[in-house]
Amino acid sequence: MLNAFHSPQSVALLGATSEIGQAILKALPHDSLNTCYLVAREPQRAAKTLKEVLPDRTKLVEIDFQAEATQTHKAVVDQLFADGDLDVAIIAVGVLGNNPDVDESANALDVMTVNYLACANLMLLIAEKMKLQGHGQIEIISSFAQTRPRVDNFIYGSSKAGLDFMARGLNDKLEGTGVSISILRPGFVRTRMTKGMSEAPFAVNSDAVAKVAVNLLKGDERIGYSPAVLKYVAYVFTLMPTKIFKRISNR
Ligand SMILES: NC(=O)c1ccc[n+]([C@@H]2O[C@H](COP(=O)([O-])OP(=O)(O)OC[C@H]3O[C@@H](n4cnc5c(N)ncnc54)[C@H](OP(=O)(O)O)[C@@H]3O)[C@@H](O)[C@H]2O)c1
């Protein structure tokens, strides 16, 4: 359970090698953190970095995970609850899908599978378990890209829009159960995912995203943009006539 200072005792980071995910884990209060589940393709890589920044008493549990292997997700999630309650789950798995070595449809399949199918399935499975324990918080990483389709990233944007939509619906359905879903919508974040790309306006580092992520877990707001100004940019983008939107988004 979270204590009076919103400090969790057990946290799971799914996509434990994610730079944003690790920044969130570092920014969370560690006062009561006893167990941290690191779920990743190479969880030992995550453990190596994170044991430097987490308290010595925090037990790190490494769990192998492959997003495409959806039939294994239930067993992965079961492991997160095997030793007791899970307070917070952060789902940071994701791909941008701009691999120039494969064609657009192969990229699209990868993006849809990892960002939507896998993340949504994990979220649903974890929510079911948290509902049984009567408390818990799940945070998913959506994106500013889900605001409106743009020619250069509409496949990625659609995968995030699907996940975001599911998270909002699920959060409403969970009302009164003690379980909630937070939705983080970052813009351009300087991580290995965006390495080599030209920066979009309002680019931030993962530490700035982590602050918003932790505040979301502490407060009543369920959706957070990073940086905050993107909330208003999203509003303007949504209302903007198509002709103008195409022009300013470089089509
Ligand atoms: N960076 C940005 O500008 C930005 C903006 C908005 C939203 N986001 C979202 O934020 C989240 C974290 O991104 P990040 O910037 O921290 O990038 P990152 O460091 O590349 O993290 C991506 C994570 O997803 C995991 N992953 C990818 N494909 C997988 C698969 N098939 N099976 C299992 N794990 C897989 C990666 O594992 P490996 O280490 O094994 O590859 C890694 O842990 C993602 O959901 C991303 O879409 C990022």
Give the residue extent of every domain in the chain: 10-248
Average pLDDT over residues 102-114: 87
Question: Does residue 187 contact residue 225 with C-beta atoms inside 8 Å?
Answer: yes
Q: Name the 3-class secondary structure at 38.
A: strand
Q: Atom 11 (ligand 1): residue with closest C-alpha?
A: 92
Alpha carbon of 153 to ligand 1 centroid (Å):
16
| pLDDT tens-digit series, residues 198-235 | 999 999 999 999 999 999 999 999 999 999 999 999 99
Question: What is the value of pTM for the model shown?
Answer: 0.96
| pLDDT of 135 higher than 90 | yes
Atom of ligand 1 nearest to the CA of 160: 47
Average pLDDT over residues 144-151: 95
Q: State how far the Cα of 187 lies from the Cα of 195, in Å rounded to an integer.
A: 14
Residue 56, pLDDT score: 95
> How far is CA 44 from its chain centroid?
20
| pLDDT tens-digit series, residues 232-250 | 999 999 999 999 998 888 6
Task: Report CA-CA distances (Å) from 22 to 19, 55, 163, 189.
Answer: 5, 14, 21, 14
Average pLDDT over residues 169-185: 98
Q: What is the CATH number of domain 10-248?
A: 3.40.50.720
Residue 3, pLDDT score: 59
| Mean of all residue pLDDT scores within the chain | 95
Q: State how far the Cα of 172 lies from the Cα of 177, in Å rounded to an integer.
A: 10
152: confidence class by pLDDT, cuts 50, 70, 90 = confident
The residues lining ligand 1, judged by C-beta closer than 6 Å to any ligand atom, are 15, 17-21, 40-42, 65-68, 92-95, 114, 141, 143, 186, 188-189, 191-194
| pLDDT of 35 higher than 70 | yes
Residue 104, pLDDT score: 77
Q: Which residues are catalytic?
A: 156
112: confidence class by pLDDT, cuts 50, 70, 90 = very high
Residue 160, C-beta contacts closer than 8 angstroms, at least 6 positions apart: 115, 116, 142, 143, 145, 146
List the beta strands (DSSP E) in 122-178: 136-141
Give bridge partners of residue 223 from the DSSP assignment.
Answer: 183
Give the percent of the chain with pLDDT over 90: 90
Task: Report CA-CA distances (Å) from 69 to 9, 13, 47, 79, 155.
Answer: 29, 18, 22, 16, 21
